[in-house]
Amino acid sequence: MRAVVQRVTEAGVEIEGQTISQIAQGLVVLLGIRHEDSEADAEYLAAKIANLRIFQDDQDKMNLSLLDVRGEALVISQFTLYGNTRKGRRPSFIEAAPPAKADPLYEYFMEMLSKQGISVKRGVFGAMMLVRIHNYGPVTILLDSEEQHKPRQ
């Protein structure tokens, strides 16, 4: 499971000109799910994201988490995070999980993030969306649940 996490002052999702979700200060989480991912991957990433210290404290250092600042999360399913561009010019998405597997894990991830104490807003799985992201900093972090299985160096 892969997540692109962006610190934002505000963000929102529109579908066909209608705002369906929006947040103030917090994180936008673009979430990619692959065939091998499980609920354990969702639990790992949810805990990591809720506690990731990427917000400024009163000393202007990145010391505070989403929980500390009582921020919100806008979670968008994005299978293109598993696009493979090694061959040719058009990405292959064969690593991305099919909707029957990805949608339940997307829902589970949001449930786990909510259980961490985060107010969670969402996109619409599989929909064509316009995502407004006011990335502050800019701060963008790439997380991958495979990292939990690698030895620390």
Per residue in 98-129, pLDDT (tens digit) is 999 999 999 999 999 999 999 999 999 999 99
CATH superfamily, domain at 2-144: D-tyrosyl-tRNA(Tyr) deacylase (3.50.80.10)
pLDDT surpassing 80 at residue 149: no
pLDDT surpassing 90 at residue 150: no
pLDDT surpassing 90 at residue 2: yes
Between the CA of residue 128 and those of 10, 92, 121, what are the distances in Å? Answer: 20, 19, 17
Can you give the pTM of this predicted structure? 0.94
Residue 88's pLDDT is what? 87
Cβ-contact 133, 6 below 8 angstroms: yes
* Helix (H) and strand (E) counts in the chain: 2, 8
pLDDT surpassing 80 at residue 151: no
Give the residue numbers marked as catalytic.
78-80
- Mean pLDDT of the region 129-133: 97
Q: For the segment 22-69, what is each residue's pLDDT rounded down to a tens digit?
A: 999 999 999 999 999 999 999 999 999 999 999 999 999 999 999 999
Give the pLDDT band (50/70/90) at residue 152: low
